[in-house]
Amino acid sequence: MLSAHDAARGFDAVGAPARIVVLLALVRAGPDGLLIGELQRRLDIPASTLAHHVRILLNAGLISQERQGRTTTCRPNFAAIEELAAFLMKECCEDRTPEPAGGEKDGARA
């Protein structure tokens, strides 16, 4: 399970609108990912700006890169993305007071 420290690092990585856009483009592309040039073309982001955002997402483990010759492919790390989302949801409704059996609320009877 993801630690609070690791979750904070992941959320920090997607804490800029441009990085969310980059990550969503890769998620939409699926497990094959996108060539960095195609990602740049689709998002209309300057190469140096894209490189900065990609580096932050890489360091957080939310994406991976594979270099083949002169081309670089970026891929979403679905397991890490799902783990980050699960971190938020793992304690969903834990502090909620359950309703008494029979639909009674606050001790009132129908």
Q: Domains (ranges, CATH) in the chain?
A: 4-89 (1.10.10.10)
Tell me the average pLDDT of the chain. Answer: 91
What pLDDT does residue 71 have? 95
Is residue 74 pLDDT above 60, yes or no? yes
Half-sphere exposure of 13 (CA within 13 A, CB side): 23
Please list, residue by residue across 66-92, b when 16 or more beta carbons sit within 10 angstroms of its beta carbon and e when fewer do. Answer: eeeeeebbbbbbeebbebbeebeeeee
Tokens of 60: 């957080």
- 27: helix, coil or strand? helix
Q: How far is CA 11 from the centre of its chain?
A: 8
| pTM for the structure as a whole | 0.81
What pLDDT does residue 103 have? 61
Q: How far apart are CA 55 and CA 32, in angstroms?
A: 19
